[in-house]
Amino acid sequence: MRPQVLAVTSSLLRSTTSRLFPSTSFALPGLLLAAHPTIVKAQPQLQQQFLYTQQTTANMSATPISANSVLDLIKNRRTYYPLSKDLPISKERVSEIVKEAVLHTPSSFNAQSNRVVVLFGADHEKLWDIATEILKAIVPADAFQATADKMNMFKGAAGTVLFFEDEKTVQKQQADYPMYADKFPGWATQSDAMLQFVIWTALEAEGAIGANLQHYNPLINEKVAAEWKVPSDWKLNAQLVFGGKTGEAGPKDQIPIEERVKFFGA
C-alpha cells in the first residue's frame, strides 16, 4: 500500500471507528505501521498508536498465554453444590478477582453497564434468609421443606456475587445511538453474562473454591435493593453462590460437537 493511501485509510478507519465506538482506542496492526516509519513519524497520533502496538506486542511476548491455558480454566469451571464456608482464599482476593473481572469484561460500545455487589458472611446469609422468607409466602406449604433445604444449602456457602445491569447506562446508549436502541438491552445482558462467566471461571481457578449460579430475581429484587441500598437503576440478573468445594461436580452430558459447530472455507 502506498504511504498516502495508508495514511488516508488509517485516518478513515480511525474516524469511522471512533464514531461507532467513541471510547474505544483503535490500533492498526504494528507490522503495517512498522513498514511505514515515515508515516508514523509524520503523525503524532499514529506515533502513539505505534508505541501502543509495540508495547502490546512486547507484553504478549513477555507473558505468552496459549489457548490451551485459557481452555483448561474454562473446562475447570463447573457447577458445585453444596458449598462450605471454608474459603481457600481471602475476602480481599475475592474482591480483587471481582474488580479485575468487572474492569476487563467487554460491553457494547464500551458502555460499562455491569454492576456487582459481593456479599460475605452475615450479609450472604441475610440474602438467603430474604429469599426463604419470600418463597415461604408463595410455595405451597407441603412443598416448602424442599425449598427451605435448598435455601439453607445456599446459606451454608461463604458468599454470593450479585450481578446487575445499569438501566440508566442502557437508556443513555439508546438515546445516543437510536439506530441500535432495540439492541442495547440484550447487549447489556450479554455483557453481564460474560462477566458472570469470567468471575465464575476465575474464582474456581483459585483451587478448592466452587460456585453455582442462581436466579431468584425478580422475586428478591425489591428486598435486595432495600437491604443493601442498591441504586434503583441497577437491575438484578443473577446470583453466584461461592464457597469451599465439598465434593465433585456432577456428570455432564454433551450433545455431539459436530451437531453444534460448523466450519467452512479452505
Query: What are the residues binding ligand FMN (CB under 6 A)?
Result: 78-79, 212-215, 249, 252
Which residue lies nearer to ligand FMN by CB, 178 or 251? 251
* Beta carbon of residue 218, minimum distance to ligand FMN (angstroms, whole number): 13
Q: How far apart are CA 84 and CA 64, in angstroms?
A: 35
* Beta carbon of residue 259, minimum distance to ligand FMN (angstroms, whole number): 17
Q: Any residues with CB less than 8 A from the CB of 205 and at least 6 apart, and which?
A: 73, 76, 77
Peptide bond into 82 cis (omega under 30): yes
Which residue lies nearer to ligand FMN by CB, 148 or 249? 249
- Alpha-helical runs (H) found in the chain: 3-20, 30-34, 37-42, 44-62, 67-76, 91-104, 121-138, 144-155, 167-176, 184-204, 221-227
* Beta carbon of residue 152, minimum distance to ligand FMN (angstroms, whole number): 15
C-beta atoms surrounding 90 within 10 Å: 9
Which residue lies nearer to ligand FMN by CB, 166 or 204? 204
Which residue lies nearer to ligand FMN by CB, 6 or 193? 193
* Beta carbon of residue 241, minimum distance to ligand FMN (angstroms, whole number): 9
Q: How far apart are CA 153 and CA 92, in angstroms?
A: 24
Read off the C-alpha cell for 22: 467513541
Q: How far apart are CA 266 and CA 264, in angstroms?
A: 7
* Beta carbon of residue 228, minimum distance to ligand FMN (angstroms, whole number): 21
Q: State the amino acid at position 59 in one-letter form.
A: N
Which residue lies nearer to ligand FMN by CB, 225 or 249? 249
